[in-house]
């Protein structure tokens, strides 16, 4: 009576890992091996595959073409199109010039506009002090111009020039009578000291009706030229104070209405007057002095 169920469970062998299973497990427990297997190897495979693919010339070209196309498609979307340029803060004539100077064929993508270059181009214009460019929503390129304001007329051998308070040229001028409100300055290096000239004109006050202009002497000091060929020679330092002292003197003694050619204020200790030759002779005669008048 053999049991039918006995042979269903054959005697179990002792489980033992094979040598290779044992070694594999030990490798897998080695941290550096695990790092290599799970990080290094996949990374190498991916990088190697990518390098192989890119190494093939047509693939590379196709990749570059695809990327370029994507980029262009994105840049040419209507959201980024600039169709209008608006110039603010400039006079009509200047706005026309600025528009011409932009040099952009609108509409174009805002990615293609080099705002820095355009700004530099606009700022080469004499009449523009600074320009501020920005692309506003709605595809508008806004150009905000700060104009140079002329404060004086500079007379040179070449003609008349309007200059601003920094001495920078603003525009040319055909005739003095076009801008009677601005003072005239002359002389070499006069444009570099425009601010001082403006301060002198502002301080001149009661002399304004008689003021013909200011002359820069030797690129270091100013002469004020009045009508009747009168000339006020100002010192190098503190010319405004010297002028104010002269005005006080004039107010007290009515100096400038007399027959005087030059008031020399270059020495701050005393003003020196130069009479006209006729007045000088008269004065001497009144003092009882006879002078020998000659050509010299």
Partner 1 sequence: MTDLYTSQRAMRNMRKAAMQRGVVAILDVGTSKIACLILRFDGPEHLREQDGVGPMAGQSQFRVIGAATTRSRGVRFGEIAVMNETERAIRTAVQAAQKMANVRVDHVIACFSGAEPRSYGLAGELDLQDSVVTEQDVSRVLAACDVPDLGVGREVLHAQPVNFALDHRTGLGDPRGQIGHRLAVDMHLLSVGGDVVQNLLYCIKRCDLELAGLASSAYVSAIAALVEDEQELGAACIDMGGGATGVSIFMKKHMIYADSLRMGGDHVTSDISKGLQIPLALAEKIKTRHGGLYATGMDDREMIDIGGDTGDWETDRRQISRTELIGIMRPRVEEILEEVRAALDAAGFDTLPSQQIVLTGGGSQIPGLDGIATRILGQRVRLGRPLRVQGLPQAATGAAFASAVGLCLFAAHPQDEWWDFEIPADRYPARSLRRAMKWFKDNW
Judged by the rule CB under 8 A, the positions of this chain that interact with partner 1 are 1-3, 6, 14-17, 19, 21-23, 25-26, 29-30
Residue among 14 and 290 whose Cβ is closer to partner 1: 14
CA 174 remoteness from chain centre:
28
Copy the structure tokens of residue 229: 């060929």
CB of 40: closest distance to partner 1 in angstroms? 18
Nearer Cβ to partner 1 (15/209): 15
Q: Which is nearer to partner 1, 32 or 51 (CB)?
A: 32
196: three-class secondary structure by DSSP:
helix
The nearer residue to partner 1, 3 or 137, going by C-beta atoms, is: 3
Minimum CB separation of residue 21 from partner 1 in Å reads: 8
Residues ≥6 apart with Cβ < 8 Å to 98: 87, 90, 122, 125, 128, 131, 143, 145
Expressed in angstroms, the distance from the first to the final Cα of the chain is 169
Q: Quick one: DSSP state of residue 284? A: H
CB of 35 to partner 1, least distance (A): 14
Q: Is 226 helix (H, G, I), strand (E, B) or coil?
A: strand
Minimum CB separation of residue 56 from partner 1 in Å reads: 42
CA pair distance 143, 58, nearest whole angstrom: 45
Q: What is the dihedral of CA 117, 118, 121, 126, to 10 degrees?
A: -130
Two tokens, residue 70: 């994507």
Closest alpha carbon to 275 in 235, 242, 237, 229 = 229
CB of 5 to partner 1, least distance (A): 11
Q: Identify which of 216, 202, 201, 198 has the alpha carbon closest to the alpha carbon of residue 156.
A: 216
Provide, for the chain, the percentages of residues in helix, strand and coil under a 3-state DSSP scheme, each rounded to the nearest 5: 45, 25, 35
Nearer to partner 1, 7 or 105 (CB): 7
HSE, side-chain direction, 13 A CA sphere, residue 35: 3
Q: Nearest distance from residue 31's CB to partner 1, in Å?
A: 8
Question: Quick one: 23 or 60, whose CB is closer to partner 1?
Answer: 23
Residue 21 or 273 having the CB closest to partner 1: 21
Minimal distance in Å, beta carbon 15 to partner 1? Answer: 7
Length of the chain: 296
Closest approach of partner 1 to the CB of residue 28, in Å: 9
| Distance, CA of 77 to CA of 280 (rounded, Å) | 86
Q: Which is nearer to partner 1, 30 or 272 (CB)?
A: 30
């Amino acid at each position: 009576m053999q049991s039918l169920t006995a042979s269903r469970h054959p005697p179990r062998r002792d489980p033992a890992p094979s040598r290779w299973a044992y070694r594999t497990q030990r490798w897998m427990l080695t941290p550096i091996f695990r790092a290599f297997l799970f990080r290094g190897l996949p990374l190498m495979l991916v990088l190697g595959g990518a390098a192989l693919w890119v190494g093939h010339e047509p693939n590379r070209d196709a990749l570059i073409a695809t990327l370029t196309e994507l980029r262009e498609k994105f840049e040419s979307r209507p959201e980024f199109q600039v169709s209008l340029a608006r110039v603010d803060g400039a006079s009509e004539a200047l706005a026309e010039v600025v528009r011409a100077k932009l040099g952009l064929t609108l509409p174009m993508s805002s990615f293609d506009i080099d705002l820095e270059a355009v700004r530099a181009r606009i700022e080469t214009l004499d009449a523009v002090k600074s320009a501020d460019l920005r692309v506003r929503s709605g595809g508008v390129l806004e150009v905000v111009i700060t104009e140079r304001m002329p404060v004086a007329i500079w007379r040179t051998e070449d003609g008349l020039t309007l200059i601003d308070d920094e001495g920078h040229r603003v525009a040319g001028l055909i005739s003095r009578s076009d801008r009677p409100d601005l003072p005239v300055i002359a002389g070499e290096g006069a444009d570099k000291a425009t601010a001082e000239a403006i301060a002198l004109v502002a301080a001149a006050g009661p002399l304004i009706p008689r003021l013909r202009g200011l002359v820069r002497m030797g690129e270091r000091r100013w002469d004020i030229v009045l009508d009747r060929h009168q000339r006020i020679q100002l010192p190098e330092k503190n010319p405004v104070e010297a002028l104010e002292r002269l005005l006080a003197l004039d107010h007290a003694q009515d100096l400038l209405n007399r027959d005087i050619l030059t008031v020399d204020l270059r020495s701050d200790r005393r003003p020196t007057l130069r009479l006209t030759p006729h007045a000088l002779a008269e004065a001497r005669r009144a003092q009882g002095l006879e002078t020998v008048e000659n050509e010299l």
